[in-house]
Every structure is written in structure tokens, then in C-alpha cells.
Structure 1
Amino acid sequence: MTQSSDRHTAPRLRVGILGAGPVTQAIHLPTLARLSDDFEVRVVMDVDGATAEAVAGRTGAASTTRAEDVFGDPSVDVVVICSPSQFHAAQVIAACRAGAKAILCEKPFAMTADEANEIAKVSEQTGVPIIVGAMHTFDPAWLAAEAEWGSLIETSHTIRSTVVIPPNSQFEDLATDIVARPLSPASNQTDPEAAVRAVTDGIMGLAIHDLPLIRQFLPTFADLDVLRAELASPWGYVISGTASGKVVHLQAGSTDTSAPNWTLEVIGDELSLRAVFTPSYVQGGSAVATLYSSAASKTFGPYAFSGYEAEWMALARVARGQEAPPPPVELIDDLRFAIALADQSSSHVRNNRKSVA
């Protein structure tokens, strides 16, 4: 597989970034540096002016503390939204109405189904395409396996996501220059609402990386039934349920070791898939995906480029009119699936905490 575009003939796409935090510093700027034939950063916005100026200075870009300066900048082709999640929907809509060539929004691109529907409507009205930064969906090893897995969607019966990683702060502290990062309070395991927030944050902040991949194997999630949802200690979750007649199991936890594990498995009677991803914040190339059958196995990857680079190259093709963007209904269904999972899991956690209070 190659990571090519018309990079030698097309002018570079000019990028405006909202939010100069860890995702911008540790993920997007290093990725854009590798893709400098296709992109140049023109402006970086952050509410912390010193952070905006420091991060923009790495690329020779301008800095600002006002999102309006990015939307109104005629030199910006692509708007990248890396702000806190609660601002995503309004900023996506504003970027659409400002006439961006394309938008890359970090996940989740909205917090409610109503927000997602409004985004889809505005995107259709303005013609501005939107890509959600779910890097695993663009990973070349995953896409190579997808091209070969045949009837696995129909024949699979069990889906397992296992994530064991060091705290993000360990990666952030090494890869970024953020000063005075606010500390997240430890979750109060005895407070039902604190526990609900913890499991919701785990689903919408971590599990959401894999939920679009999992949803591919669920013809419908209208019958989603979460049967178990618990918090792990000191951090993490264990969630089990069913949808489309299949078992879905998600588990995540934290480790202080240097041996992270990010694995997604799809198991069928005749064929199974195992994809091993690199952790977030790690610029470590692609996943490794293996299809197993009773007769043989076939492995895809690792490829030299990662899902981060692949999502940016997809954005370039979309912005240049070389490729159609993902249908808005796909993005909305991904979000609805995540919200349904979070809502049902939260109800279990709340009820469990109240029953032992």
C-alpha cells in the first residue's frame, strides 16, 4: 500500500487549528511535519495565548486566542478542531458556514444525536465535507484486512476490545510543552454520579476509538443491550452486552509498565480477525491485523505510515475533490452507537452504586 496523493502537483492545503493541547502537539503537528508536501499550518488558536503562540511558533504559523480569527482567515483551507469536546459541534458548524474546504474534527464530533443531525444538515447545505479523527478507521492494516475478510460481518459472533495503556499524561508530558495542565480529580468510586461520569468519559474518550470499527460488524445496534458495566480500579471499565445477535465485550485499564496492549478481536465460526494497534500519542506506524481460519492465517502490516497519516491524506483527497467524504449518516450512526453504549452503561453503573450505598 502507498501513501500518495497529487502532492507534487497540487498546492499545499493551508491548515487552521483550534486547540493547541496534547492532541495537536503530540499527534497532529508531527504528522503534518511528515506530510509537508501537502499541508502547511497557517494559524493555531488556543484560549491560552502563551500556549497558542508557543505551539504556532514551531511551524512558523500565526497564533490567536479567538476561534473567529480562524474561521474568518481567507488563507485557511482546512479547519482542524482539537478543542474540548463540548465545543466541537458549534465549531464544526461555524467552520462549515465559513466555507472551509474540509474539516477534521477530533472525536467525538458532537455530544448528542441532535447536535450530530444539525451538523449533517449544515454540512449538506454548505457542501463542506467533514472527517472525524477516528484514526483506527483509516489504519492501513485495518483497511487491508477489511478488503480480505469477506463474510466476516455476517458470520462473526463475538467482538472483543481490550485496551491496557499507561495514563495519557505519561505520553503528554514527554511529547508536549503544556504548562500548568489542570489535574483531573480522582474518581470517587462511592459516588454514583462520579462513577457515571467516569464510565461515560471512558467510552467517549477511549472506547470511541474502536466503536466505529465494532459498529461495522453490527448490522443494527437498535437492539443493543448492555448486560454488565463496571468500573475497574484504579481506572478503566468492563462492559459486556449484545447487539445484532452478537456478544460485544469492552475492557480497558491502566498500567505503569511499558507494555501497552490495544487489541480488537472479531471472532467467527470460520474466520476470525485480530488487530493490534499502537497506543494513542505514539507515532509508531500502523496496526498489525491478522485474519485466522482453520486452513491458514494472513497478516497485514505493519506499514510505515499510521492511521494518523492516513486520515490526513484522506482529508487532502476530500478537500481537493479527489474522493467523496464519508456519508454523514455513517458519522451520525457511529455517534449514536457510542451514546447508546454510554447511556446504558451509565445506567448500570449508577444502579450498582446506589444498590450498595
Structure 2
Amino acid sequence: MSIDVEAVRRQTRGVLGVTHLNNAGSSLAPGPVVDTVVGHLRREEEIGGYEAAEEAADRLEGVYSSVARLIGAAPDEIALAESGSRAWAMAVYSFPFVPGTRLLIGRTEYAGNVIALRQLARRNGLQIVVLDDDPHGQLDVEHLQRELDRGDVALVALTHVPMANGLVNPAAEVGRRCRAAGVMFVLDACQSVGQMPLDVQSLGCDVLAGTGRKFLRGPRGTAFLYVRASVLERLEPAMLDGHSAVPAGAGGLEVRGDARRFESWESSAAGRLGLGRAVDYALALGLDAVQERVAGLAEQLRAELAAVPAVTVHDRGITRCGIVTFSVKGNDARNVRTRLAEHRINVSVAPAPSAPADSAPTGTRHGPDLVVRASVHYYNTETEIQRLVSVLPGTS
């Protein structure tokens, strides 16, 4: 099944005004998703927020089933959240850490996750071990195996697709080795969900966090968390409220038995409905077709950039995705982004792929260790890619 690019562009109002190549930041939402969000807000305006949510109760419940289908999980293993980082943290902060155990992470782990893990290490007397890259720039699974064999590993945390690199880490192989060692595996899929098929059974992860705004093309402020049913009872959330638990007996409480124990009472019903619509939209297109289209466009962009003498493409990996990072000789990445924005081409800047796992978040970094990040999606066109290359400094 292939994607009807003209049809999806007709449903993407933003393509009339911009060439959007910042899908790893936040995609252009399709019309059906926006209409779903706005439609529910109108109902809140007309009849009240609680009443509108009650009216949409079946549709809100259906969001859990949609997300579960997207990643091969059960609805009871899904929680909804306001950001991928918060979803990831809600699970990780609930782990029953034993002092002296170790946390294994990759060199391309998302900087925000590293900050959280450092706090947890300081609080609980843990050691963080940064695993080597292999010659292709991916997580070295042989180094992982050596560390697992040493023992005393509390969990392995991996970012599936780094925010500033085109590679796809070998998550399924990491999952296989973690399962064999009996070690928790936490996967940050915020940059992979929506641009490729994901199946938590094949990936072997115990926890997976995804966001709505990136390649899923959902609203900002939406995300989800998967927690494998077999580990749920081991993870008591760091914070509970009347949605996640109920009083029980004299001074006791009973925590929910499903993944919604990681949710809080208040949320955006409109946002959740929009997330569900975005998931259904992606499923209808087919994630295999999405991946084929995205990967093909990204390879075209890499090839055309590499043909420009002043441009260096920085992506590594055996399997690569829709994120393309590059630099232009003699031009700061921020200046390149500004030049492209003047031509109504949206890109971002990010830490260079060689930056370590404890790099500062993008917004606080300066200097030559920044690269330009262009991230394509299936609604982009070959002409848009050619247009980006044609207006780079030194090419026109």
C-alpha cells in the first residue's frame, strides 16, 4: 500500500504556507485531527467541560484502544499523558531501585532523560553506565551484554531514535538481551512512533513512552505511556490522586490495577480525542507505507545535501529514518535556520550527533556543536527537498 501524497496534502492546510521540515519537533497536523480538537472545544463552550467529556466518554475510552493497536499492546497497558517526557518519568520514577545497582544508557540518550536518571542516581545511590557506540554509531549491543553479564543492573534506558541523528537504535536486540537477563527495559519512542511500525512484543520493552506532536501529527500536549502488564504491580507511581488510587480501610489505599495508575485526574479531553484521531489517521495510512515514504525522502535529502561541497551530512546508523542532520561550512546552524525561515522553510537546530548523552538541551546550547536538523514526513514532496537545498548558503 502506498500513500496518496496529494490526498494527504489536501488534508494538511499548513503546506499552503510553509515547507515544513521540522516534523521531529512538531508536525503539521492534518485537518481531521484539528477538526476533532476544535469540535470538542466547541462542545465545551456550548454545554460545559464535564458535560462534553461525558458525552464523548465512549470516544475518549476508544483512544486507549487506538494507541494499543498502534504499538501492539492491550488497552489496560496504556496511560495518557501531557508529554512524552512526563510519561517516561512517571514510570521510571516509580521503579523500586536498590542502592548500589546500575543504570545502563546509550550515548544518544535524550538529555532530559539523563537529567532525570542523574537525580534518581543521586537519591538512590545508583551508578550510571554509558554504553559505547558501535562502529555505525548505534548502541553497542556487545558492550550492553558485557554489562548485563556483570549483574546488578536495575534497568536499561534507550532512546529509539535520537533527537539529533538519523539512526534507529537496535531496540529489538536490546530488548531480547534484557529479557534474557531479567532486566527492565525502558524505551523512549518519542521520535520513532508515527514514522515506523512499532510492536512492543517484538521490541521486548517493559516501558515505552511516545508523544503526539511529532511524527504522529497529533496535538501538542498529548502523549502516551505503555507499561507491560506483568511489571505493573512492581511500579507504584511517585504521585497518586483520586484517579490513580482510592482510599481503602483505615488509612490505606488501593492503587489502580491498570496503567492508568500513572495518570492524573485533570486532562485535556479535546487533546486526547485529537491524539486518538491522529493515531487512527496513521493506522489508516499504514505504518509500513509511512516508513517507506519517510525513509525514501530522507535518503533523497541526504544525497542532495551530500552533493553540495560546503555541506556535511552527519547521520550514521545501519537503519536510518526521517531525521537528517547537516552543517554548512562557514555558517552557524542558527544562521542557516534563519536563512531557511526567510524562505518559509521550517527546520530546527540540535546538538551534533557526536555530542555525549549529558549534552544540554537544545535551547541552551551555542557554538559549532550545533547542526541543522531537517526532518521529513510523508506529506513532504521531492520538490520541497530540492527547494531546501537550493536556498542554502553558498548554493544560490
Whether the TM-score (by the shorter chain) exceeds 0.5 is no
User: What TM-score range do you get, normalising by the shorter chain?
Assistant: 0.3 to 0.5
Whose radius of gyration is greater, 1 or 2? Answer: 2
Greater fraction strand: 1
TM-score (structure 1 length as normaliser): 0.34
